[in-house]
């Protein structure tokens, strides 16, 4: 007799928690066969995406391959496919690769950005909900500084390039704004000497009375003070009505002229939720206390896709709800397979946290309120514990220590197709060919296209920089950006060698 087939749609927090709870241990036979279906082959730790977008963390620190995370579980198969629909009658998940049959189905497809049915906002703003969006945002921010360096003769365009508007005062918007402020300070201080420290502008736009509206009043005030101390402007009670190429418009007609508009104003359930009969707020599926849907007890909906009843209304769309609901659904499936019943889901609130800069965070854990360094340490400990995989934990720890002690952003790299071709020839004098290896015999000539400041400091200075890593040349005494970068490179390589992995972002530490 074949074992029950359980299909999990989504490999986010809820999907992974469900898969691990369903897995058979090595010392006994698993009771079910599990298939995990996702359109991506990696799991993303979304709370750290803002660090990728602000050049603090390499992608491998927030994303891990799903197969690697589940490789030790004997009864789990991972399929890469785009889910296109559900056939509730035949009990099949329809995908672009073909149907997948199930006896029990756990829907954990997560959430997408909520643009409130405004296509102009969706098409003309940047988001921070997955790894691709975070890398796109990082490229865009660094590209704005590169473009602003060339816009000295056009003050209006330069001001738009150096203005960054963040819409949404929740944890994502607050954390990204604070991290962006630190990045901007470092870029103007060392990376772009032609851009004054007072030129960049960061504006956090929030429709409610204050950012972090779900936190206690003292923590909201502490977070706002931390943002202002880092140069972030806060526009509370401002509802964004439109976004165009030159900025955003708020209710009442006020505008912020900015090339960069980051949308962090909320999320809604994946569109797959519309295939189910009952849809609640934010496009979520209304579920029973057991996480099942009416008339289909074989289907469980968990995480951000589910509108789960709580004591004070529907539970929030956060990671801890996803993890706990995914685990509960898996245990209910095992109980049903054994002839038992699905149990009611009881949510345990572990607290809410948000970081507002390096060494500064706010944390609300029941009646305990933490802020400043103690809040940051609590935030860091909780997030490291939740990070999937030992490699990612090590990367987060090293990145946090490196950023806290040395104050450096190790991955200020513009990546993606066409980036080499987009470098203007003027940046490299007359050298427009491929970069030379400084250790090769043919190393004479002008600096490569990577030396963007040759025109500013002259060819002698550029050539001096180009030869700094030649054999026999001694570095200048004391710490310097070059020596810190080499230390960062060695630490990253040591971590990869220790855990036997290859980086998902090799260019982040290539010499």
Could you list the active site residues? 175
State both tokens at 159.
């001001």
Element (H, E) at 76: strand 76-80
Distance CA 272, CA 487 (A): 46
Distance CA 91, CA 104 (A): 8
Please calculate the CA angle 481-484-487 and round it to the nearest 5 degrees: 155
Are 35 and 99 a contacting pair, CB within 8 Å? no
Distance CA 264, CA 113 (A): 8
- Torsion sign across C-alpha atoms 350, 351, 352, 354: negative
Q: Which of 106, 83, 100 is nearest to 21 (CA)?
A: 106
Instruction: Catalogue the long-range contacts made by 336-344 (C-beta closer than 8 Å, 24 or more residues apart).
Output: 336/104, 336/297, 337/4, 337/31, 337/32, 337/104, 338/31, 342/290, 342/291, 342/292, 342/297, 342/300, 343/290, 344/289, 344/290
DSSP state of 161: H
Are 453 and 466 a contacting pair, CB within 8 Å? no
- CB 114: neighbour CB atoms within 10 A? 20
Distance CA 357, CA 176 (A): 9
Q: Alpha-carbon Rg of the chain, whole angstroms?
A: 25
State both tokens at 268.
């809604």
State both tokens at 148.
């602003």
Distance CA 211, CA 220 (A): 7
> Cα 505 from chain centroid?
15
């Amino acid at each position: 007799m074949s074992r029950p087939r359980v299909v999990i749609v989504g490999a986010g927090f809820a999907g992974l928690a469900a898969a691990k709870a369903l897995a058979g241990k090595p010392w006994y036979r698993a009771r079910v066969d599990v298939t995990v279906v996702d359109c991506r082959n990696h799991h993303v730790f979304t709370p750290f995406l803002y660090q990728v977008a602000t050049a603090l963390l390499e992608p491998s620190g927030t994303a891990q391959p799903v197969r690697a995370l589940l490789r030790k579980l004997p009864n789990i198969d991972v399929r890469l496919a785009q889910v296109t629909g559900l056939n509730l009658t035949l009990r099949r998940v329809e995908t672009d690769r073909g149907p997948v049959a199930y006896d029990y189905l756990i829907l954990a497809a997560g959430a997408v950005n909520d643009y409130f049915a405004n296509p102009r906002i969706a098409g003309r703003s940047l988001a921070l909900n997955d790894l691709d969006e975070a890398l796109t945002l990082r490229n865009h921010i660094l590209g704005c500084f590169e473009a602003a360096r060339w816009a000295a003769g056009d003050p209006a365009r330069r001001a738009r390039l150096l203005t960054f508007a963040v819409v949404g005062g929740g944890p994502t918007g607050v954390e990204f704004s604070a991290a962006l402020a630190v990045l901007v300070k470092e870029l103007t201080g060392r990376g772009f000497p032609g851009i004054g420290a007072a030129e960049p502008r960061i504006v956090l736009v929030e429709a409610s009375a204050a950012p972090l509206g779900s936190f206690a009043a003292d923590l909201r005030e502490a977070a706002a003070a931390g943002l202002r101390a880092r140069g972030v402007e806060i526009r509370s009670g401002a509802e964004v009505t439109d976004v165009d190429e030159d900025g955003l418009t708020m209710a009442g007609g006020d505008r912020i002229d900015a090339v960069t508009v980051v949308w962090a104003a909320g999320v809604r359930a994946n569109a797959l939720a519309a295939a189910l009969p009952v849809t609640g707020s934010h496009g979520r599926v209304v579920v029973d206390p057991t996480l099942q849907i009416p008339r289909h007890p074989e289907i469980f909906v968990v995480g951000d896709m589910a509108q789960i009843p709580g004591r004070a209304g529907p539970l929030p769309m956060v990671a801890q709800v996803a993890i706990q609901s995914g685990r509960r659904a898996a245990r209910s499936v095992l109980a049903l397979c054994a002839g038992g019943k699905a149990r009611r889901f009881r949510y345990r609130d572990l607290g809410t946290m948000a970081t507002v800069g390096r060494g500064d965070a706010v944390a609300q854990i029941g009646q305990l309120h933490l802020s400043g360094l103690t809040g940051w340490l609590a935030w860091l400990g909780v997030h490291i514990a939740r990070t999937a995989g030992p490699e990612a934990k090590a990367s987060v720890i090293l990145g946090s220590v490196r950023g806290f002690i040395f104050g450096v952003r190790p991955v200020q790299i513009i990546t993606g197709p066409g980036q080499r071709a987009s470098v203007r020839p003027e940046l490299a004098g007359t050298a427009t060919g491929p970069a030379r290896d400084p250790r090769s015999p043919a190393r004479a000539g002008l600096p490569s296209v990577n030396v963007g400041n040759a025109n500013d400091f002259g060819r002698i200075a550029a050539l001096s920089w180009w030869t700094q890593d030649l054999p026999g040349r001694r570095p200048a005494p004391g710490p310097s950006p070059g020596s810190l970068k080499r230390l960062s490179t060695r630490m990253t390589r040591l971590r990869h060698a220790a855990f036997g992995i290859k980086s998902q972002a090799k260019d982040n530490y290539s010499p």
